[in-house]
Chains A and B, each alone.
Chain A
Amino acid sequence: MSSYLNTRVSLFRQRLWQDADFDALIGAPAEEVPAALDERQLALLAIGFGGDAPLSLEGRIIAELLRETRILVRPLRGEARRFIVYWTERFEISNLKTLIRAKMAGERSAAVADRLIDMGPFSRLDLDTLSHVEDVGELLRRLESSPYGGIVRNARRAFEQGHDPFILDATLDRSYFEALVRTARPLRDTAGEGFGELMRCLIDRVNLVWLLRYRFNYGLPPAQVYYLLVASPFGMAPDTLRRLVTRADLAGVLDELPPRLGRALAGCSDIVELFARLERELARRAHAMLRGGGHALTRAFAYLILREYDLRGVRAVLRGRQLGLPLTSIRQALGRPPAMQGVGGG
């Protein structure tokens, strides 16, 4: 099965976007954009180009990702399958957050339903029933008996203490990534070093961005920030994280980073730039995994990361064009280097 998956991933790899493809999409006349998207097997995105709401575009990007994930997951069994399926479930976590926020704001059920992402066969929640509950308390109680009971239980207790939506969001996010790490842990030996490296890059990115945001944007105390980070055997060790949370500013955090991260992030002046660099670093590693011919699961995971990275880039371009932004601003927002220096997608 792994050779079938490898072949599948290699075929899918042709769908990844080169930097030059983005340049072409940015510069294409409006009437040629649907055809250009259709040509890249993105017919779903091409359909509504021109006058659709941004949320439906997001929904269609996720639908495309789920469609490809469904194909890749077919030959997988056991822990490998569980991991890839769980990777898609962050979209369902975002549905959870949408539901919770809507209930807090007292929105109508029908209005909420429109904003939920259709997870198709990956769906594990009865969104219809959940969108009709009366309040957040009832919603959380019902969710406790759902497949996300473990994640929600923590969040509910935290929420009951403070009724703070930030606490709820942060706890849900942390619990999701810790569950992802638990799903990934048994694969460390079977899926090879590359898999661990991808997970390390992913968890480091999550932890570092959260750390900076919680510490310096929200002004949380070091102990609380440390608690909110993802505990993981992948990525920075607990001692390092403990040192980082006590630093007084961004420069202090950058000074304390392990050398590999320090080099990649040297000279960063704000969180946005740091996030973009970490994204690029993750994409670079994922490209290397794809090219390297490693374990089939690792290559499939790398492909999914890159595909999402690409599609979010496409979304940025389409939205930029819809808003009539200058081409240079769209290119800048894309966060990709110019085509000649870019990392090859193929």
Chain B
Amino acid sequence: MFRALPMLRVKLWCLASEAQDMALLLARHGVFNPAAEADAPLPAEPGSEYREVFEEAEARMAKIVGYCGLGELPPIPADAIAPNLRELRGINGRLREIWQDCSASQENELRVADERKRLATLEATYAHLKGLDVDLSRLLGAGSLLDAHIGQVAIVNVGRLRDSLALAGQVMTVFDRDGEHVYAVVAGPRGETELGGLLAQAGWRELPLPPELQTHPEAAGRYLAAERQRLDALAGGYCETRAQKHAQYADWLKQARILLMLARPLAEAACDGLRGQGHLHLFSGWAPRRDLPRLQAGLEARFQGRYLLQWREPEAGERVPSLLHHPAWLRPFAALVTGYGVPRYGEFDPTLLFAVTYVLLFGAMFGDVGHGAVLLLLFFGLRRRLGGLARVGIWASLASIGFGVLYGSVFGYEEWLHPVWLSPMHDPGHLLRLAVYAGVAFMAVTLLIHAGNRFAEGRPGVALFAPAGLAGLVFYLAMVAGLDAWFRGAGFPLVAGLTAVGALALAAAHVWIETRAPFGERLLVTFIESFEAAIGLFANTLSFLRVAAFSLNHVALALAVFTLASGMQGVGYGLTLVLGNVVIIVLEGAIVAIQALRLMYYEGFSRFFIADGVEFKPLRLEGRPGV
């Protein structure tokens, strides 16, 4: 539970003709994470074409499904086999044909949508053109003395285009605006300048003004109405086409979809970890030690000796994927931990520490039997909708109830229940001191874990001398002991001071040695990093004051609600109490949840958790497995 599962580096040799079945078997077992070998014994990358065809087919499938839908897939039969390259090419080719067929319809739909939009604009524009009182047949007709264009251009291009047109002796007049575009007339002496290039550059879109629009306004109106009717009919027709395409292709697409699911494992393995030569293929990757016997049994049952499985322990410096295993109750917390990062292979997995500390911090900051019970009911009721988050909430609510019993608080009332431990408001100084002590303990644990992680990585120098290692821990504890004595009036003990200075000097020397940079940069980095590490430890410790502050805040908010309510009578009194408590539960509950998370991430994880591990991502079979 405190480390990723032990992994083995695995090499699996098989016949090239059985590579796709091998990948499928590995995916069905879900315990093989493909990873390239640094010195691959076989030179070729045989799966690259398979992968390329697969990706093309996948992209086409997604577009087709996006256009005409697919419906629910049947389960994948247990004895289904993956397509080979020739079959995959066939699927891809068929998908290309289907997409060409569908894309033509989709393009038509888009064109009609465009046309409808432009028609709507045309109707509005024509109303403006009428307002201009311009006879368009004269302006645009063959006998006109002007070379005129009517069109649409982006508003941001207008100034620039107008200046450019002036250089060519042309005038531009804007007569309408539609969102980000304007409608304009560009006119100049006929036949003097070729404007095509300039107008194209500006994204000028010529406004199609068919002859019907250039005649009498009434005739133009009739034309527009007819055009609308035509486009509506076309759009209706395309909807039917879409449904027809679905009916025509859905069955084949479902089969193809399943074949692509079966092909995915080899395509994924081809990306990383598949090599070959001649009739031999090699899958390289990682598998958990505990699952190897099961995998071997599966291989034997399917391939009956036509394979060779080799494995070895991970070597120093290898990037090993981390497979974390947690009991069910801890998994929702694991999601919050991996949200920060994945533990490196061999690094301490902080999920359990996170779960316990987070729940305790929440309870300490939001300790109230009544509020905790309401949250408990709320999370229990929403457990299906919230999933894992509800389980985190239930644990936090139970902690809130527990601390409520310790504080003697029920919906802010401190008279109903005698505190088992202490009421926060009655001795805030004591509570603040305890929060700092808790912070010191937490920081010391994080530094120890950091040192342990570095030892596990085989970097004893960092574990011993880095500012976040044992040298940092000695500095920190010496300073804490010294400051504690000083606050108690006994002065700062010389031993504690000398220990702290010595440990800090060691840490600084370590940073100096580890930094590879020119002298000036090295000096700056050493100074800033040592200084930051020293200050950071105490800043992080003081952050824990918020634990006490929020528990006091909780009581203070309840008092404020009572004070407001006591100014009212009858229904007003009850309503204020209920609303006040709702505000406390929702607002303060959310703030406390975030603060507890913040304490864990920034004061805890940032100190010891490198979290740059690689998640164990085995080949898996998508979809529902069949029987």
Could you say which of A109, A161, A221 contacts B205, with CB atoms under 8 Å apart? A161
Give CA–CA (A19, B194) in the complex, Å.
49
Among A129, A161, A162, A224, the residue within 8 A (CB) of B164 is A224
A-B pair count, CB < 8 Å, reads: 88
Judging by beta carbons under 8 Å apart, are B198 and A221 in contact? yes
Indicate if B123 sits at the interface (CB-CB under 8 A). no
Contact A153–B200 (Cβ < 8 Å)? no
- Across the interface, B163 reaches (CB within 8 A) one of A108, A133, A220, A226, namely A226
CA distance A212 to B415 in the complex (A): 87
In the bound assembly, the distance between CA atoms of A153 and B154 in angstroms comes to 10
Report chain B residues within 8 Å CB of A153: 154, 203
Does A291 touch B at the CB level, under 8 Å? Answer: no
Instruction: Enumerate chain A residues within 8 angstroms of B163, measured Cβ to Cβ.
Output: 226, 238, 242
By a CB distance below 8 angstroms, the chain B residues around A222 are 167-168
A112 to chain B, nearest CB (A): 12
**Partner of A224 from B63, B154, B201, B518 at Cβ < 8 Å:** B201
Per-residue contact bits, chain A 123-140, to B (CB 8 Å; 1 contact, 0 not): 000000100111000000
Known interface pairs A14-B518, A154-B203, A221-B197; A132-B56 also in contact (CB < 8 Å): yes
- A208 CB → nearest B CB, Å: 18
From residue 133 to 176 of chain A, which have CB atoms closer than 8 A to chain B?
A: 133-134, 153-154, 156-158, 161-162, 164, 167, 170-171
Q: From B204, which residue of chain A is reached at the shortest CB distance?
A: A161
* Structural contact, B167 and A11, CB atoms closer than 8 A: no
Interchain CA distance A223-B165 in the complex, whole Å: 6
Contact B164 A223 (CB under 8 A): yes
Residue of A at shortest CB range from B196? A162
| Residues of chain A contacted by B63 (CB below 8 angstroms) | 134
CB of A7 closer than 8 Å to a CB of B: yes
Asked if A108 meets B52 with Cβ closer than 8 Å, knowing A157-B154, A238-B163, the reply is yes
A216 at interface (Cβ–Cβ under 8 A)? no
Query: Is residue B202 within 8 Å, beta carbon to beta carbon, of the partner chain?
Result: yes
| Chain A residues with CB under 8 A of B164 | 223-224, 226-227
Q: Could you give, for residues 200-235 of chain A, a 1 whenever the CB lies within 8 Å of some chain B CB and a 0 otherwise? A: 000000000000000000001111101110010000
Q: Is the CB of B167 within 8 A of A246?
A: yes
Q: Which residues of B contact A129 (CB under 8 A)?
A: 59
Note all chain B residues with C-beta closer than 8 A to A221: 168, 193-194, 197-198
Pick from B160, B201, B517: contact of A158, CB under 8 Å: B201
Interface status of B610 (Cβ within 8 A of chain A):
no
Number of interface residues of A (CB under 8 A): 34
- The answer to whether residues A228 and B201 also contact, given A11-B520, A11-B524, A246-B167 and a CB cut-off of 8 A, is yes
Cβ-defined partner of B200 (8 Å) among A7, A14, A167, A226: A167
Is the C-beta of A245 less than 8 angstroms from some C-beta in chain B? yes
Task: Tell me if A272 is interfacial: C-beta within 8 Å of chain B.
Answer: no
Contact indicator B197/A220 (Cβ below 8 Å)? yes
Give the Cβ gap from A253 to chain B, nearest Cβ, in Å. 15
Cβ-based interface call for B87 (8 A): no
Chain B residues lying within 8 Å of A133, measured Cβ to Cβ, are 59
**In the assembled complex, A110 has its CB within 8 A of some CB on chain B:** yes
Provide the residues of chain B in CB contact with A224, threshold 8 Å: 164, 197-198, 201
B248-280 CB mask vs A (1 if < 8 Å, else 0) is 000000000000000000000000000000000
CB pair A154–B52 under 8 Å, yes or no, is: no
Does B484 have its Cβ within 8 Å of any Cβ on chain A?
no
**Is the beta-carbon distance between B167 and A223 smaller than 8 angstroms?**
yes
Give Cα A7 to B518, complex, Å. 13
Q: Are B55 and A158 in contact (CB under 8 A)?
A: no
A-B contact pairs, 28 of them (CB 8 A): A14-B518, A108-B52, A109-B55, A110-B48, A132-B59, A134-B99, A134-B103, A154-B203, A157-B205, A158-B202, A161-B204, A162-B197, A162-B200, A167-B197, A221-B168, A221-B194, A222-B167, A223-B165, A223-B193, A223-B198, A224-B197, A227-B160, A227-B161, A227-B164, A227-B198, A242-B163, A242-B167, A246-B167
Beyond known contacts A162-B196, A223-B193, A242-B167: 9 more, CB 8 A cutoff: A110-B52, A132-B55, A134-B99, A164-B200, A220-B197, A222-B167, A223-B170, A228-B201, A231-B159
Closest 4 CB pairs of A and B: A157-B203, A161-B200, A223-B168, A132-B59
Chain A interfacial positions (CB closer than 8 Å to B): 7, 11, 14, 108-110, 129, 132-134, 153-154, 156-158, 161-162, 164, 167, 170-171, 220-224, 226-228, 231, 238, 242, 245-246
